Amino acid sequence: MSSVPLNILYEDNHLLVVAKPAGLPTMGTPEGRPTLLAIAKEYIKRRYSKPGDVYLGVMSRLDAPVTGVVLLARTSKAARRMTEQFRTHAVEKVYWAVVEGSVEPASAECEDWIGHDRRHRRMWIVGPTQPGAKHARLAYRRLAAVQGNSILEIELETGRKHQIRLQLAHRGHPILGDRKYGSPRRWPAGIALHARRLVITHPVNGEPLQIEAPLPDAWRQFGELG
């Protein structure tokens, strides 16, 4: 497990923020399989010589094929305060994605209702009266058009399962490499969706905190993107 390196973006007594690589689940896999949470707990245990079980609360969870910022709380007090920030939409969550085709208009909001198909382990766009339907909203702007694809910056306003992947695919622009939602294209590792930036209020000192995850190597094919 420790063979998977932990890319730390920010760390103090209250928070641990890391960059998740493609293919590594955040948490919730069968015993014995590596997860980001387990690797982070092992890191805290070693670094601070902590006996017994280490507390880490997952505040932002990413699908296994997605890369980028994941926020972990090191104390239950920090976890409670961060949970409230997420609940009240006081957190800014920005993603970058490479999607198929030329996205028009260049900026827009997407609003849908999403339902969960547990049998096929995927989400669907459904009507608002469908039992279990959840409201999903995001805003995007096109950063560049390259090689017949569009690079988008997405601000996530709600945090539904597979939300970005589904909403963009539903509009004819699946994320590169995302075969579950209709992309026939390959991506070097995982899919072309990256949790680029997270802006929060520090749960203890109250200061604004902006954390940005560098783009994975797979994005270099598009040149300098900032």
Name the residue range of residue 123's domain: 7-215
CA dihedral 17, 53, 23, 165 (to 10 degrees): -60
The number of folded domains in the chain is 1
DSSP structural state of residue 175: B
User: Distance between CA 194 and CA 75 in Å, rounded?
Assistant: 27
Tokens 């994941």 belong to which residue?
70
pLDDT band at 3 (very low <50, low <70, confident <90, very high): low
- Per residue in 31-70, pLDDT (tens digit) is 668 899 999 999 999 998 888 889 999 999 999 999 999 9
DSSP code of residue 168: H
Is residue 1 one of the residues assigned to a domain?
A: no
| Average pLDDT, integer, range 108-133 | 92
| Residue 120 confidence (pLDDT) | 77
In a domain, 223, yes or no: no
Q: How far is CA 196 from the centre of its chain?
A: 8
Whether residue 38 is contained in a domain is answered as yes
Q: Look at residues 37, 43, 31, 21 and name the one whose alpha carbon lies nearest to residue 79.
A: 37
| Predicted TM-score (pTM) of this structure | 0.93
In a domain, 226, yes or no: no
How far does Cα 133 stand from its chain's mean position? 21
d(CA 51, CA 45): 7
**Where does the pLDDT of residue 121 fall: very low under 50, low under 70, confident under 90, or very high at 90 and above?**
confident
Q: How many CB atoms lie within 10 A of CB 42?
A: 16
Residue 175, in any domain of the structure: yes
CATH code of 133's domain: 3.30.2350.10
In a domain, 89, yes or no: yes
Residue 68: in which H helix or E strand, if any? strand 67-73
Confidence of residue 207 (pLDDT cuts 50, 70, 90): very high
Q: Do the bridges between strand 193-201 and strand 92-100 make them parallel or antiparallel, or are there none, so unpaired?
A: antiparallel
Mean pLDDT of 189-193: 96
Mean pLDDT value across the chain: 93
What is the set of active-site residues?
63
pLDDT tens digit sequence for 66-86: 999 999 999 999 999 999 999
